[in-house]
Every structure is written in C-alpha cells, then in structure tokens.
Structure 1
C-alpha cells in the first residue's frame, strides 16, 4: 500500500464496504479463481467472461482497488492489484487478462487527469476502462477547445463490460513537422465494440476486441495533447498527487502498465505447476519400474526446479512492486527508474515462460496437452502473451536500449 497524506474525511465518498481489507481482497481473488477453472472453455467460446463472473469481480470490490477514496474507491495500491491479477490468472488467464486491462487504467486516469475530468470519470465508483497504447486514428481540434477523434483501436482488452476507453491518437502536425500525440478518454456511449476477437491461438476469452470511434467529441478536460501514456513523466508531481495527496497517484504510470504481464505470467505458471503436480501424484512412468511419477527422481527434479523458478519469478515481482512503492513515496521515478522497473517484469515473464515451455510441457505427457486440457490452454495463453507488443517488442528491445543510453550518457 502506498503512503497517503492527511486528507479531510469529508472529501471521501464511502465505498460499498468501508471495512474491506487487502487481506480479504486477496482471499476473495483466490475463491473466485477456483470457480473459473471449470469455466475456461465457455469463456473462450464466448470471447469474454460471463456476466455473473463480471458481477462477482465487481461485488468483490476489484474495480475499485485503484479508484481514489474521494470517489468511493479503496486506494489499496499497485501491489494489491497485481496480487489479485496473479491469483485470478491461476484460475483463468483470459478472465484475469480481461479484468486487469479493464481495471488498471483507473490508476492512469487518477494520476494524470484533472479534478474536473476525474469528477466525471469516477462518478459511478466502478471504473472499467480498457486502453490501447499504440496510436491509431486522428484527432482534429473542435471549435470549443476539445477534439474530434476518429479511428479503430485494436486489442482493447476488457471492452465487453467497459464504462470508458482510453487511447492514443495522432494530431496532424504543421507542414513539414511530424504528427503529434494525443491521449484521450471517451465514455462507453461514444464508441462501438467490434466483434473481431476469439480466433487467436490463446487468451480467446480476454475480451480483447477492437474499439471503433466515429468522430466522437472529446471535451478538453478528457484530452492530454502532447502526452503518451508510456512516456509521461511524473517527476515534479502529478495532478493526482496534488488532488488525492497519496503517493499512489504520484508514481510511475509506465511501470504498472508493464507489471501486469508479469503478474499474469506468474499466475499462469503457478496454474501449470498445479496441473503438473496432480499428474505427478496420479500417473505412473512409462518405463520400469512403473512407479508413480511422484516417486521418480527425475520427475521430482523437474517439479522442484519448476517450483523454484516460479518462486524466483514471484520474488522478482514482489520486489519490483516494492521498488515502485518506494520510488512513488520518494518522488524520484525518473525515466531510468521507470524503465528499470518495467524490465524486471520482462524477466518475470521469462522465468515463468521457461518453466512452462522447458520443464512442464515437454514432460507432462501427450494426453495432458490435448485440445481443451488445462495445461494445453495455459501453454496457448502464455504463447499469446508473447505476441503482445509490450512484451516482445517494447520490453524485449526498446526499453533495454533506452535504459542503456540513459545509463551510458549516449544521445538518442
């Protein structure tokens, strides 16, 4: 949990459960995850989680974890949110993916947008706002100082039950100048969700449909010209820190966006180990002396090494969350710090993926990876995670190179 400064109580709207604790939130995540395991196929078939699952996530308070107390949220922190994501991913990666990329942008909105914008964005308490980092479409100035945005934004995970959408678009530059950037938020009644998700190899139930916006009017307070969600500096303070007086809204925005893939990977790898453990206790080896796998030294070694790698990945995730909190409280999350923390998430993914792809999948047995089997689905989901541009383009090459240039004093 991040540090909060003294804020007058009358400025806070009470959340649905004023006495809710972080420990109870994590316990709820584990209980909900258990209900998701047997529903993974129907989630894939539908393309997103069921309405009753969505209602369970809302009732549990998960869509208010990062919403400011001022608006009826809990302000439990980045660490609590990521632990919830990892637990949900242990039950169903698609549901966890859909949840986190719909819920996490409450932190971005509460950090970067003005009080006027937040008063409207968080008016209903629950805030479900998928986001797309890659710029698309175009924004034109409106007569009233706002913007007219038009475009199709792909892979808006969390869009089926969303209340808003946050995206990046281009603003035409003057002749001979490059196009500018605009970050904007638009309410649900101003965009259309396209039915174009579900044919990918994995994460079929993550609700990652495209969002189509046709000449939507964006008020000036819902737009941040010259801003990109992955490049915005928080050094010197943020609108959210000044408004909420909590360092949760004064820390890096970039790093938490990247933390999510690490949390998801840890949850998926843990689920794979769950399956492997069941197989090891139940099945015999195919060669003499035909004893249970659990009694075989080789299977013991594989299980132990996999458990160790997952533990290392979880430890790295825990420490990157600690670093985020520390730098938020100190107010020193400059670009190099943001990049370093983000790259840790990439290493978490590597550890989790190597566990599944190098140890568990090759030795689980052919019957364990038939279509529809839990381990087969985890492998597909983790493979699809690797196609995410944030994982295997940004975190794998762009971020490390930028960090090196900053450390070595080399001009871009």
Structure 2
C-alpha cells in the first residue's frame, strides 16, 4: 500500500519493524487467535479482552496496520487489516470486534484530517480510536474557536484501551437553521470510560462501553463539519496529498465492510467448533456412527462450508475493489460506488448468518449450545451483530434505496 511521495512527505517517525510484511503480521494474528477460544469466557466476564492480550497486539503491530508510515505506522492497507480482524474474530468474536472497531479509525483520521492534526493524533504511533455515529451531547463554541463538549456517547467498541475517541454532536452555528452534525476527535485524557457493558445478549467482551466527556475543550482543527457517513470523498482529501491515493477512500463503505469481515470470522469459528463436534461425537439415532460418516451431518457441514467460503470470497473481492477505487481519480469514489460496496457486506452477513443459524446451530446438539459453548457463543454474537445500526437499519433498508437513487439521480 505504500506510495512514492515527494521528499517533503517522507516518514518522520521510526517504524518499529521496518521490514515487517503483511503476510508476517497476518501470521502473527493466526498464532495469537489460536489461544483466544480458551479465553472467551473470561473475556465475556471482564467485558473486554485482557491487558496481556492488548500488550500482545501492541507488540505484534496490530494497532499500526492502518497508521501511515510517516507517523510510525505500517500502512499495510485495508486488505491486511481486514484479514487480521477476521482471523481474531474466528478465535473470539468479542476480541475481533473490539480490536477492529478500535484500530479501524486510523484510516478515517489519516484520510480526513489535515497534516497538523494528524501529526498530533499519531504522535504515539499506536492508534486505538473507537467511533460512534449517533450524535449525542452538546458543544458550545468558545471565543478562540474551539468547542466545549459535554455528553455521553454509547457503544464505543474499543474503549478500554482507547488512545482517542471519534464522536458526533449537533451544533447550532446558524441561529435561524436546524442543528448541524459535527465530527470531533477527543484525546484519552478528555474522556472517561463508563462501566456499563456486558449485560447484552452477545458480544459481551467487545469493550463497547459508553464514553463520558465533561467540559472538554476540543480545538477547532480536531473537528469537521458534517457526519462521517455523509462526507464526500470525490475531491482531493488531505490523506491523498499526505500519503497517497490509498488514503482517499470512502469512510462509509469501509465502516460497513468491517461488519462483513467480522461476520466471516465469527462464522469460520462456528465451523471450526462444528468440525470438532463431528470428529468427536456420534449420531443420536440409529445407525450410531461417527458424525463424520453420517450423510446428514456431511450435508450440513458442506452447506455451511460453501456459504462461509462464498462470504469470505465476496469480502476479499469487495475490499480489493475498495482499494482499486482509491487508486483511480478521486472522482471515481462516488456515493453510488460506496453504497454498492456496502451492499456486498450486507450479503456477506446474510450468508454467514444462514450458515450458522440455519445449518450449524440447529444440528450441533443441545449440549453444544449451552451457555458458554463455542457454537452458542457465536450464535449470540452474530445475533448481536444484527442489532448494530449499520447492519440492522442502514444496510437492511436505507442502503438499497439510497443506491437506487444515486444510480438514477432521483430525489427522495
């Protein structure tokens, strides 16, 4: 993903492992993911993955995958990032979810904010920045142009180890007009993580706590007018100028593709568990044979395998298309293209759910879907994914209509 840039834009911070490759960082994810299933119960009890897991992710370079190289990151790009997140979600859905939604927004910051702001945000190298899309709280403009912010923002996945937070609020810049959305980034010292996560149906260990901000002063250059899902990217964004075209893609489609990447990992984890059951258990009805020899179990396994493999292939291709669009002229990344890519993620989630809910969960056996069993946990976690506003509301209804309107150039 690294681009050849003018000398004035050469990296300013040392990269911890300058010769590290995308394949090597994915291999590290596979090694770490192998130990995650055994820790799923404790992760759920805690509400987030453990400190030693966080430290292992830090050493592995996971929090620098999308950080530009000029700020000490690896700049490996979306394909590598999504592969790492999918791999971690295969081992533990909560861990994969918390990691992805904490580390993903380095791409947003490096795409949308100017050079001064990026230098401040990425000064630490590692970047963990949960983001929410629902506006909350209140903001008052100070005399120096900064904003005084107060409020509580819910569902901030990645909050336990966050270095920053991206949120939205409504501002009343025009006294005669309606409130307008404003995006902001707050530093860790400016917010408090609330202890309010873990009682949900699924993703209990995803670290999706609320964040409270009281009287924080947010400099004007750390804010952007508008909403993250509506910001057009058909012009020359700061990221394109600073780092190359790979940092000129659409935030909306990238955020929604993340849901598909996680769904694939979760479904792969369920298939892993189902395979273990097939290898170790027999049929319930005569003839009593190993499940691996039973035509019905063979059918279920084969059906689920095909669905999950198709979902994985669709995700891989969608991310490739996202990256290829970036390499074209900025005008190529239209709203229609963003929505088309987003609908691919929608179908990926549907395929994964059909595989788990329709094939694996019903035939795993009652003892295998008791609370805390791996198949049961994935079923809960995938169910919870459907409650995410991006999937359950936007992709389920808004995206299709908006795609058609963008294609035909019609209004509401």
TM-score normalised to structure 2 length: 0.97
Deviation at 1:141, TM superposition (A): 1.0
Deviation at 1:5, TM superposition (A): 3.1
CA contact (8 A) 1:67 1:107 kept: yes
Once the two structures are superposed, what CA deviation does each residue of 1:384-403 show, in whole Å capped at 9, x if it has no partner? 11111111101111111111
CA contact (8 A) 1:67 1:73 kept: yes
1:157 maps to 157
CA contact (8 A) 1:368 1:376 kept: yes
CA contact (8 A) 1:385 1:391 kept: yes
| Distance in 2, Cα, partners of 1:260 & 1:34 | 21
Once the two structures are superposed, what CA deviation does each residue of 1:136-195 show, in whole Å capped at 9, x if it has no partner? 112111111111111110000000111110101100254452111110001010111111
In the TM superposition, what are the counterparts of 1:297-336 in structure 2 within 5 Å?
A: 297-330=295-328, 331=330, 332-336=332-336
Gaps of 5+ in 1: none
2:290 maps to 292
**Runs of 4+ residues deviating >6 angstroms:** none
1:253 maps to 251
| Distance in 2, Cα, partners of 1:141 & 1:93 | 40
SS across alignment from 1:132: coil
Deviation at 1:14, TM superposition (A): 2.2
In the TM superposition, what are the counterparts of 1:215-234 in structure 2 within 5 Å?
A: 215-225=215-225, 227-234=226-233
RMSD: 1.1
SS across alignment from 1:14: coil
- Asked if 1:351 corresponds to 2:380, the answer is no
SS across alignment from 1:288: coil
| Distance in 2, Cα, partners of 1:351 & 1:219 | 44
- Asked if 1:94 corresponds to 2:86, the answer is no
| Distance in 2, Cα, partners of 1:333 & 1:304 | 38
1:388 maps to 388
| Distance in 2, Cα, partners of 1:174 & 1:306 | 54
Deviation at 1:379, TM superposition (A): 0.7
SS across alignment from 2:35: helix
1:243 maps to 242
Once the two structures are superposed, what CA deviation does each residue of 1:294-344 show, in whole Å capped at 9, x if it has no partner? 111111111111100001000100110011011100031110001111111
Once the two structures are superposed, what CA deviation does each residue of 1:186-237 show, in whole Å capped at 9, x if it has no partner? 1010111111100001110111000111121000110112x21111111022
Deviation at 1:20, TM superposition (A): 0.4
CA contact (8 A) 1:370 1:376 kept: yes
Residues 10 and 318 (structure 1 numbering): CA distance in 2 closer, same or farther, change over 3 Å? Answer: closer
SS across alignment from 1:262: helix
CA contact (8 A) 2:165 2:187 kept: yes
- Asked if 1:191 corresponds to 2:183, the answer is no
Deviation at 1:11, TM superposition (A): 3.2
TM-score normalised to structure 1 length: 0.97
In the TM superposition, what are the counterparts of 1:13-412 in structure 2 within 5 Å?
A: 13-172=13-172, 174-225=174-225, 227-244=226-243, 246-330=244-328, 331=330, 332-412=332-412
CA contact (8 A) 2:2 2:75 kept: no
Once the two structures are superposed, what CA deviation does each residue of 1:229-287 show, in whole Å capped at 9, x if it has no partner? 1111110220111112x222111111111111111100010010011111112111111
Residues 5 and 252 (structure 1 numbering): CA distance in 2 closer, same or farther, change over 3 Å? Answer: farther
| Distance in 2, Cα, partners of 1:20 & 1:389 | 36
CA contact (8 A) 1:66 1:73 kept: yes
CA contact (8 A) 1:78 1:248 kept: no
CA contact (8 A) 2:228 2:251 kept: yes
Deviation at 1:411, TM superposition (A): 1.0
